[in-house]
Structure 1
Amino acid sequence: MDATKVAGCFRDRTILVTGSTGFLAKLLVEKILRVQPDVKKLYLLVRAPDDAAAQQRVLHEIVGKQLFDVLRARHGADFRSFIQEKTSPLAGDVAHQNRELIDF
């Protein structure tokens, strides 16, 4: 497969990431945002009672980690707005019927 096709496969795509605070999901989120910044939106499913709590978990347990230092350096003062534009935390739990999604 042509590398340029692989690199562009997430361009203008909306993606739901389950287990967002887990090890592999953090790597996936960072990799997509770093190599494919033209992704439309990443919906990050987070086990939390509401969207505010989900947002806090994303900020502290995902994008607040050292893993995101390359993106933080690349975007500088605009890092937070880049993250807010490209990600949307969703409170929910895939273990429950209908995923227990809040306001989705």
Structure 2
Amino acid sequence: LKLEELITTCPNIYSSIKPIMKPSGWVNLEPPNNVSNEFFEDWALLFEKYPSRFYLGSDWKENHRYYDITLTEHTDNLRHLIGSLNKETQESIAFNTAKELFNVH
């Protein structure tokens, strides 16, 4: 099944968006963005079509050997990525989906 099929047939499936900042070496796991910090078009279209099914996941681990940037740089990268989407999608992915999903008020 493709992700869009899962989204449309399973109303309780949500996904975090975990951008890559450098190649990870994963096989058969497509990242949502390229190494130039831009969403791939197919992912951006999916996010904008189903914004309430995605939320931002940074997975930041301080002093982790994988990172060669600071938390501030990482946050700036996330803002750049999310900023490329329409305003409603930005708000949903950056805040509203997680707020509703995890019942945070």
Query: Which of the five TM-score ranges fits, normalised by the shorter chain?
Result: 0.3 to 0.5
- TM-score if structure 1 supplies the norm length? 0.42
- TM-score if structure 2 supplies the norm length? 0.42
